[in-house]
Structure 1
C-alpha cells in the first residue's frame, strides 16, 4: 500500500454541528473515504465528508485493479500472453492516470483546508481490497458509496456495500452515502479487541441494521410492522443472512412463552370448572400444543424456503456471469481468427509483390541489354555523323566565302543606288518639284535605295511643327516625336545641335548607321540635316521597362519570353561588336532603349550615337570622371567612369544588368551584389521574379552565371558576346519546349547529361552525379540497387555526341 500525506495551509476556525450525526469530539480522528474512478461520485462523497467531518484527517482509499487485457496493435491480449515490455508500459500509464485522478481528489481537500492523505492498494476486486485495508490497518471509520433500493435498503447488486458489511470487522463503523445523502450506518463495537464479545459478525450486523434508523427518506418511516418485516428480508437479500437466524431465535423463544401461558390458562380453567371431564381438558391441551408446533414448523419451513430462494437467485447470477464470460471468450477467439486471416492475406500479398519485383528486374535487365546494343548503334551513327559534319564544314567554308563576295557586291550596288538617288534629287530640285512628292517616286522605306534625306518642312508637317502633343519622351541626346511620313507612322528623334559634329562628318556617320540592317536593331529610315533629326520606324509596344514593371497593366512576362529577349539582345550586340571596319558601341544600353515590335521581339535603338556627337557631349567636362555620362547612371560601366574610355565591354556590363533585371524584376541599383549574395547563400529562388512562373534550374543557373560575369567591375573579367554564346542562349528557351529523349536524361538528376559516364551496372549517368553517389559510400546501383562489380566509370562518347547533335538541332 502506498500512502501520501497532504497538510493544508490553514484549518477552519469553526466546527459544524450536524443534527443527524453526532460528530462532536471526533474531529481529530482519521476518517477513511473509499473513492473510485468516477470523479462525480467521488466529489459528492468527499463533499459530504468535508461537511460532516470538519477538521478531521481524511484518508482517501483507492483500490487499483490491473487490467487483465493489454491493448496491442493486433487487439487486446491477456497480460500473461502479452510482451512484458508492453505490459510494463501499460501498467505505468495506468498508475499515472490513477495518480492524476487522486491529485484531483486531494485538491478538493486542499481547497477545504483539511489534512488529507492517500492510500492505494492493488487487488483484483475492489471490495476485497477495501476489506484487506480495514483488517490490515485497523480502520475505525469508513465512508463508502452505496445504491439504495426503494429509498430504504441497499440495492441487492451493490456487491461492494454487501461485501463490506459481511466481511469488515465489527470495530469499524461504516457510513453508506448515496448522491451526497446518508443512507444508513453500520455501528461499531468499542474497540478492535471486543470481537470476542460478539459471537458472530453476521449476527452483529443484523442487530446493528435492525436497531439503526435510516436517515435517507425519513418521511417514509411510518410503514406498518409488516413493511418493517419486509425491510428485514430485503436486508437479507443483500447478504446479511444472520437476520434470519435472529428471527428464528426470537420465534423459538416466543413459542415456549405461549405454551406456558396456555398451560396456565388450562390449569386456571380446570381450577374454576372442576366439573368438566378431565379427558376433554387433556385432549384440548394436546390439540393446542400440536397447533403451536405446526405453526412453528411452518414458519421454519418458510424461512428455509426463502433462504433456498436466495441461494437460487445467487446461482442464477453466477450462471449469467459465466455465460457472459463465455461469450466474451468466443468473440475474442473470433477476433483472433480474423486477425490471423488478415495477417496471412498480407503475407501472401507481400510474396506476390516480391515475385512481381523479380519479374520486373528481369525485364529491366533485358531492356538494359537492348539499350547497350542501341548505344553501340549510336556510336556507329555518331562516327558517320562526324564524317558528314566534316564535309558540311568544308561546304560551309565555301558558302561563307561566297556570302562574303556577295556582301561586297551588295555594298557596291548600294553605293551606286545612293549616287543615283542624289542625281534624282538634284533633277527634282531643278524642276522645282516639292520634296513631299518624293514618296510617289521612291515608295516605302523598304523600297528606298538608301537612307532618305528629308527637309525640315517634311518633319514639321509630320509633327505639326514639333508640337508638344506629338512628343513621346525626352532623352539625353534630344526629344523623340511621333509623326506620319512615307505612308506610315514613324519616330523622329531631334538631336541637340550643339552636341553634334560637323555636317560632313554627321552625314557620313548617319550613312554608316543606315547601312546596319539587323532583325533586332531599330530600322533607320532617313535623316534631316537641317533639323539634326533621325527618322526611325515606329514600334507601338513600348520598351522592356514598361513590360517588366507592368506600367500599362500588361500581362506578366513568362520565363520563356524573358530568356528569348536575352538571346535577341545578345544576337544584336554580337552583330554590332563584330561590324567592320569599325566596331559599333552602343554606350547607353538600358531597358528603355530596348523596344518591342508587334511580335514582341526586341529591337535596340539609339545605337551608334557616340559616333554622331562630340566627345564633350558623351563625357561633359563639368562632370569629369565622377558623374553619369548619359541616360541612367546605374547602367554605366564603372571602368568608363574611371578611365573615360568607351569599349564593347561597357555594353556587356549594361547587358549583364538587364539579364539580372529580367530574372528578378527589380531595379538595377545594387542588384548585382544582391544576386551574388543570394547565389553564394544558396537562396537564389528568393530573388527570382515569381510572376515569371517556375524557372527551369538549368536555364536560371546559366543566366545568373552569365549576368554576374558581365557585371564584373574589371572589364577584363567580362565575357565577349560570341556566336557560340548567342546559340547557347537561344537554346535555353528552345530546349525546354521540345520533348527530351528519355535516354538523354540522367537517372539520378533527371536532367540532360553533359558528361555521360557508364557505370558497372551498364547504365549511363551524369559524371558529377554518379561520382557523388560513389563518394558517399554507395556500392550499389542507383537503378537496380544491386551491388556493383567495380566502381570504375567509362565515358560514353557516343551518347555525348548524340546529345550535342540533338541540342544543335534544337
Structure 2
C-alpha cells in the first residue's frame, strides 16, 4: 500500500493558506504533506513605481527580475514550511502562464486523484473537476467536495505541452537538496530542475476528501487531539517568531531613520558655522540679508518681473508677514516642502498658512509664478484657496487647513467612509482642472502629502508649483500633450511621461490611481499596484484592505481597486477619463454608501 499522503493547494494568501495547512495537518496526523505550486511569471518589469512590458526591458534586467521572483517564491514556501513543524513534507512546482492549466499539468503528471483548493472560483472550473475530485477548504473550513470527476487517465487534456509536464520533478529524501533552518532570514537554494525539497509547505496540493472525513470521525471517536495540539503549539511558536522579526525590523528601520537625522543635523551645523564665519566679515546690509536667509526667506527679488494679480488676490508687505508669524517663530512652523517652509499665522484675524521661498531650493520663481497664475484663476471647494502673496520675497499665503496632509491623517487612522469621501472630492477637483477651457490644467504632482484637510477632514488639493496648462481641441475631448522635462514624485509619476516627456491629463489619472490604492490599503510601497493586482488575482482583496478603517463593503471596494489598477496601466488608452462619470461609477456608489451610513448613524445618535 502506498504511503499515506495529504495534498494541499497553497497560494500567496498567507493567512488563508496557513489555516488550510493546519486544517489538513490536524485531520491527517500521520500523512506525508505534499504541496504543489504553479508559479505565474510576471509579464511586467517594475519601473519608476509603475511597470513596463518585458519586451521593452534589457535581457540582463529580465534575468535579474526573474531571479528575484523565484527567490520570493522560495521564501514564501519556506515560511509555509514552518506551519508543519516536524511533519514530513514534499513539494513540487512548475512555471506556467495559466494557473489553471498549470494545476491540471501537476495533477496529470503526479497522478493526483483528489486535491484541496482554497479558491471557490477555481474549484468550479470544469477542466479541473474532470481531472480529479476537488475539496474546497476556505480559511481552514471545509466548504464542499465535487463528485463529478472522471477517472484520471491519459485521455484527459491538461492544456500544456509534454515539455511543461517533464519539468515537474521531485528530489529524494537522501539528496543533498533544499533545507531551511526555522528562520525567515535563512539562505535558500533553488534547483535548476524546478523542484524544491522541503520539510515544509508549497502552493498547489491534493487531498483525499473521503480520507479527511474518515480522519474526522476517528479523531472524534478516539479523542486523539495530540496532532492538533502540536499544530497549535507550532503555530504559536511561529507567531512569536514573526512578532520578534517584525520588532527587529522596526528597530532597524528606526535606527536608520535616526542615523539619517543625525547626518542632516551635522550638515546643518556645519552650514551654520560657515555662515557665522561669513557674517562676521559682512557689512550691515549684508547681515540683514543673511538674517532673512536664517528665517527661510529669500532676499528681495527685484530682478523678477512684476506679476499681474487679480483683485481678489491680496498683496502683503514683508513686515505684515513677519508680524503674522511672530517673526517666524519656530513653534509656528507647520510644514516643509521643496518650495520652502510653511508657517501658521494670522492676517486680519484670519488663520493662514504662509509658504516661504527657500533660497537656492529645488523650486524658485517659476514655481511661484505658476502657482499664482493657476490658483488665481480657479475656484473649487476641494482646491486650496490662495489668499494673497508677498511679491518682494515670493511668499504665498493660503487658507489654513489645521488637519495637515492626507498622509498624516491616514497614519492616525481614518474611517473608510471618510476615505471614500475624500477620494470623491479629489476626483471632483481633478475633473474640474481637466475640464477648464480653452486650457486644461494638469496638476503633475498629485500625492498624499499634497492633499490637505480642514478641521472637518474636508480635502483640498494643493501645491500647484508644477502644474501645467495644455490646449484642448475646441470640439474634441482629446488632449494635445505638452512636452516638458519629467517632474513629479517617484511612485506617483506616470512612467510614460517619464520615458517620453509627454505630459497629458492621463498623467494625473495615473497618480490618482496610486492615491486610491494607498488610501484603500494603507500601503505606501512603490510596488503597491503589483501587490493589489496579485491580491485581486488570488481573490484575496480582504487581505490588502486597511483593517483600521473599519468594515469595508468588499464587493464595491474591489471594483474600485480594479478601477485604480486601470488608472495605473502603462497603456494610457486603458486609463479611465477623470471627467467621465460612467468610468467612475464604482467610486460614486461607494460614496453614496458612505453618505447613507453616515446619515443612519446621525439619526441613530439623534434618536438616542
Comparing both chains, which one has the higher relative contact order based on Cα–Cα distances under 8 Å and sequence gaps of 6 or more? Answer: 2
**Whose helix proportion is higher, 1 or 2?**
1
State if a TM-score over 0.5 links the two structures.
Answer: no
Give the alignment's TM-score, normalised by structure 1.
0.32
TM-score, normalised relative to structure 2:
0.41
- For the pair shown, the structure with the greater C-alpha radius of gyration is 1
